[in-house]
Amino acid sequence: MLEKYTFGQHDLTDITVIKCGTEDCLPGHSWGPGIRSHFVLHLITAGQGMLKTGKNEYLLERGDIFLVSPDTIAEYRADHEKPWSYVWVGFRGLIADSLCREAGLNPRQPVTKSEIIDKLADIIREMLKFSGGSRQHELLRIAMLYKFFAGLIDQNNQAASSIETRQAEYLRQAVRYIENNYADDISISGIASHVGLDRSYLYSLFQRFLHITPKAYLTRYRMTKAGELLRTSLSIGEVAHSVGYSDPLLFSKAFKREQGITPSNYRRDLEKNL
């Protein structure tokens, strides 16, 4: 079953609806490869299918939303066993691209998943009630499109907040591990493994939140602890071992790089100030 409307529209507005519709696709039904002159969003309400953009291919199912951007070659096809059903809306305007990006969609990331797919799909279906050519119907369609993006952007912001919360927790776990194990022979790979992350991802978290690499953070923490221990009666070799260095010479070099002074001179300055 196919229900589709194409509308006339004013050009160069903030945003306007070009077309919208619903379709229960036949097995293997496809579009493209081709290029659209406007944005088209598809909301998959049932079944499965495939989207291909450039060299990337996505296997999609109910709950997925995919964007076809203007001047981007795309191809999509319904599954032969479980063909998808979807609703779609085509639009363009001065803020169309920025709204898509706020919703987490762009040519490089054309797919997102929604937990409120039925609610969003109902908004598109509501547009079909305003299929007339009057100015009133045009404004009502635009109002529905803004309502649609309000829901999609809110969902994306909540997801981003949830991701940031998880990232902060990963970072806290890594920092806690360093604080509890700095005296041992630990490595960045070992820290990442303990937290359950890839080493490069851990690196990106430290850079984003602390503006420092994990290795530099570990070294700085060790040297801070070393500075505290140099106030005690421990020898420099014992201090080195206490902060994870089996070689006192390597410790001395690391301490000087971090503090700008050798451990022995650091201790001498402390004694002068007593």
Residue 274 sits in a domain whose CATH number is 1.10.10.60
Residue-level pLDDT at 91? 94
Residue-level pLDDT at 192? 93
| pLDDT exceeds 50 at position 12 | no
- Give the Cβ contact number of residue 39 at 10 Å: 22
Structural domain boundaries enclosing 271: 182-274
The residue that leads in pLDDT, 132 or 45, is 45
| pLDDT exceeds 80 at position 2 | no
177: in domain: no
* Residue corresponding to tokens 């591990």: 177
Q: What is the distance between the alpha carbons of residues 60 and 156, in angstroms, rounded to a whole number?
A: 18
Q: What is the distance between the alpha carbons of residues 173 and 167, in angstroms, rounded to a whole number?
A: 10
Supply the pTM of this predicted model: 0.60
Q: Are residues 135 and 55 in the same domain?
A: yes
**Percent of the chain predicted with pLDDT > 90:** 64
Residue-level pLDDT at 131? 82
170: in domain: no
Q: Are residues 112 and 191 in the same domain?
A: no
Mean pLDDT of 12-35: 90
Q: What is the distance between the alpha carbons of residues 8 and 32, in angstroms, rounded to a whole number?
A: 24
Task: Reduce the DSSP state of residue 212 to 3 states and report it.
Answer: coil
> Which amino acid, residue 228?
E
168: in domain: no
For the chain, what is the domain count? 2
Q: Are residues 124 and 258 in the same domain?
A: no
Q: Are residues 152 and 214 in the same domain?
A: no
